[in-house]
Every structure is written in structure tokens, then in C-alpha cells.
Amino acid sequence: MRAAVIGAGAWGTAMAIHLARKGHEVVLRARSAEGARKLSEERENRLYLPGVKFPDRLAVTAGSPGPSDFTVGAVPTQHIREFLTEIRADVPRAPFVSLAKGIEVETGLLPTGIVREVVGNELPVAVLTGPCIGREVARGLPTAVLLAGDHAEQLQPAFNTDRFRVYTSTDRVGAELAGALKNVLAIAAGIVDGLALGDNAKAALLTRGIVEMTRLGVALGAKAQTFTGLAGFADLFVTCVSPFSRNRTVGERIGRGERLADILDSTPSEVEGVPTTRAVLALARRVDVDMPITEVLNDVLFGGVSLEEALTTLMARTLGPEHPPRRARAGR
């Protein structure tokens, strides 16, 4: 098969390498001609994946990737609209599999929603998500992921290998929401690490975080079970504990006293969880869902609230049961 991968960052490059190793003819679409030339000449992405050589079946371009059997989108969420608008004529009219994990701040759209608005509503879309650190995939370490959305079962064999196990789901909304929400919680988990609050605090954060994720997801039409699987708990866990997680690392640096602006200036890759925090909170307020961790994190990132004040706010919330009864539906 022939695959186009749009976006030559860490995850896009890792996926292009994975697909080429599987035997597909892969074209990796870089943003600039200079970037494409450098990747082609060096045959590795020295900025994000140094030492991992490109397979022979992997080509790089800054132009049209040409026809493909499927397209993989690996552009950060807040840049999808601009990038795809620029290259709309070059995007293959084939199933589009998104790797992005975020929510567009201006519209509240998930990545596949942005793709359909720009490229066309008739385009089949799916999301590939789960606990998949790019450098581990590029090294061929064992990984399990979820492919959710249109044609997921048909596309499953195209991604699956003996080191990259792919499960499928019809819950594209839940899978995308989980990927976005876990980045927000990863920043909070990093703050816990930076403040040295301990393992008890981190465990509580992850557990209550899953509750928040599920609560919002169900309100937006997702399935609750999605948030306990690969797209939810597994991805949340790896993002909150891995030293290679950008979002967790940003949170850790905040916990140690660094300014957010300085952290972002010194981070070469996009930190999806930062803008997504605002987008998640806006969605939660729109559907009247309580998300205290997200709300407090938003106050820290954008409202000038101190970490000590934020911690006190969370720990002093009104007491209640762990699993409160569900609200009665209207008319019942």
C-alpha cells in the first residue's frame, strides 16, 4: 500500500518509519522545502529522533505526496486548519487517520472535525491513539494502540505488526477526547512531580482525572468504556509517568518555579496540553460538566493563581461520595 504522512515532527516521523518498515511505500510531507531537503539528505530526523535511520521505502517531500491508499495526519491540533488549508489540493482523497491529540481553541473541534471542515465532509476519518511514545515506536518497542472511526477494521492490518498491536473501535469521539484530555492532566501530573508531592497525590490525580475525562466524554456522546481502555487510562498513565512526555515535563518545570512562557520558548515541539486546557474548560462549561482539576490548572496557566492556592482549592472542595448517583434524566 501507499501512505502519505503529513507532518514531520517526532510522532509523524516515527509513524512514517513504522509504516515503511511494515512494507508500505511512504511519503512524509514536511512543512518546508529546506526541512524536506535536510531529512532526505540525512535520512533521519536528528531534531526529534536522532540515530533512527529512515527505511528505504520512506521518501520526504515538501510538495504533493501524490495519490495514497490512506493519509496519516501528524500536525499539532492548533495548526491543522492553517496547514491543511495551505495544501488542501494536495491532500489525497483517501481515508484520513489523525494522530493529533487536542481540541481547537477557537471552535472546540476535535482534529478529525477540523480535517472534515477543511478538506470535505465526505472524507472518511479515524483516529489512532493510545500509549504511544514516538521514540519507542521508532525503536520498535512493543506498543498497543486504538484505531477508532471510519474504516477502522479495514485499516487495522495496514498499521498492525508483531510489535505494534492495533485494536479498533467505533467511538471516534471518545478516543479523540481521551487523547486531548490526558494531555491536560499530564501537565497537572508534572506539577505534582515538580512540587515533590508524592506518589499518593499523583495516584489520586490520575484516578480523579479519569473521572473528569469520562464525565465530559459521556456528556459529548462518547462511550464511558473508552476512557478505561487504551485511549483513556493507558494513554493517561504513560503520559503522566514517562520522562519523554512533553506535557508532563512542562508541568514539572512549572512545579519547580519556571515561567510558562519561558518553558514554551525553550521547548522545540508543540505542547498540546497548554492550549487544550482552555478548549476543554470551554467545552465543559458549555455542557455543564464539573471538571475541578482542569479548572484549577487553567487558573494556574492563564489566571496567575499560585500553585499553593491551586492545591488548597482542590483539597478543600466540598466533601462527597466517590461515586455520586447519576442525575435523573429529564422526564423520568
Query: Which one from 22, 101, 182, 202 is the annotated catalytic residue?
Result: 182
Strand partners, 148: 127, 169
CA quadruple 218, 220, 223, 227: dihedral, nearest 10: -70
pLDDT above 90 covers a percentage of the chain that reads 94
* Residue 182 appears among annotated catalytic residues: yes
Query: Which domains, ranges and CATH numbers included, belong to the chain?
Result: 2-170 (3.40.50.720), 173-315 (1.10.1040.10)
Q: Spell out a b/e string for 1-28, using b for 16 or more CB atoms within 10 Å of the CB, else e.
A: ebbbbbbbbbbbbbbbbbbbbbebbbbb
Say whether pLDDT at 330 is over 80: no
Q: 118-121 — which CB contacts under 8 Å span 24+ positions?
A: 118/80, 118/81, 118/84, 118/85, 118/88, 119/84, 119/88, 119/91, 120/93
CA angle, corner 137, sides to 41 and 108, nearest 5? 95
pLDDT, one tens digit per residue, over 291-309 is: 999 999 999 999 999 999 9
For residue 189, what pLDDT band results from cuts at 50, 70 and 90? Answer: very high
pLDDT, one tens digit per residue, over 54-78 is: 999 999 999 999 999 999 999 999 9
